[in-house]
A = this chain, B = another copy of it.
Amino acid sequence: MSSLKNVADLAGVSVATVSRVLNSDEVVKYETKVKVMNAIKTLKYSPNRVAQRLRTTRKSSRLIGLLIPDIQNPFYVDVIRGIEVFAYANNAAVVIGNFSQDEKKEKLYLDILKSESVDGFIVAPSNEKDIYIKELVKDGFPVVCIDRGLSDIEVDLVKVDNQKGAFNAIEHLIKLQHTRIGHITGNQLIPTTMERLAGYEQALKQYNIAIDPEIIVSRESDYESGAELAAYLLDLENPPTAIFTGNNLLTLGALETINKRGLKIPEDIAIIGFDDVYWANSLNPPLTAVRQPGFEIGKRAMELLIQRILSPEREVASIIYKTELMIRKSCGSKEKRL
């Protein structure tokens, strides 16, 4: 790979001049510029991003650090796609860290990313008090949070109105005459879990349905928990007629249990999930779900991050997207139940 020096030699100018034309500094004379451009072309020169990054300031060639709790969750792959498309358009590369909801791993990745001098971070904090992320923000690194915010500290945030989304889901179920609605929540340390639970409770209250703690169950936010907690719910003496699952993975797990028992959806048990998937129609019956715009969330987060890098002093932004209730067939239809 050729260097600035090589280009300079070939063009018969100094490295400073070459650097100037690369950074489109207006001062350089037209003829010089042409000579340099030609040299660049014949050497197929392209700047070394590592060297650029070692300098304190730079305008382009960014590297973005991404800290994701679980890459197996399709919601996050949508987010990643959004980030990546926008990054690509901005000549930025992204370093990815998947910490699997493991704080030790989160810390290690954070350290690696810091020492890679990334220009900024996009992270989903493991919880509201996440000290590592807080430290990052305090230390003045550009960071934007996705999906989950941070308490007691100002930070850019892009997420969804979880409470409203859950409320809509439960309301939908209620209008379909369900009154005994179970809720499989995610890990209760994760802020979104609590917001969705709040939406669930709010809907029940509003429609004067008593909240029964027996049918609100919780463990981790993963597939196995979904499967096991669904089994628990179905084994109850007075089982729910509908289940609201707190995320993608939980939904899929619950579905396994329901299928395994040969239960019919929605006749035997209705199900509505938080998080939509692009293959919701491949499920039988198609899944009714609360859709988060993952791609848009990623894209917006990347935009905010670039802004933040450019103007560290701009006010903190909090972008709350609306969810969309994707009504398909897993909750039944009004006619049927009436």
Contacts and interface: CB of A to CB of B under 8 A. Distances in A.
A77 interface: yes
B281 A260 contact: yes
A63 interface: yes
Interface residues of A, number: 51
A105 interface: yes
A285 B256 contact: no
Interface string A130-154: 0000000000000000000000000
A238 to B, nearest CB: 26
B91 A112 contact: yes
Contact of A282 (B50, B94, B97, B255): B255
B117 A282 contact: no
Interface in A149-208: none
A71 B74 CA distance: 10
13 contacts: A46-B111, A48-B115, A50-B50, A51-B54, A71-B80, A72-B77, A84-B98, A88-B105, A93-B109, A94-B95, A252-B282, A256-B282, A259-B283
Interface of A: 1, 46-51, 53-54, 61, 63, 71-72, 77, 80-81, 84, 88, 91, 93-98, 105, 108-109, 111-117, 223, 252-253, 255-256, 259-260, 265, 278-279, 281-286
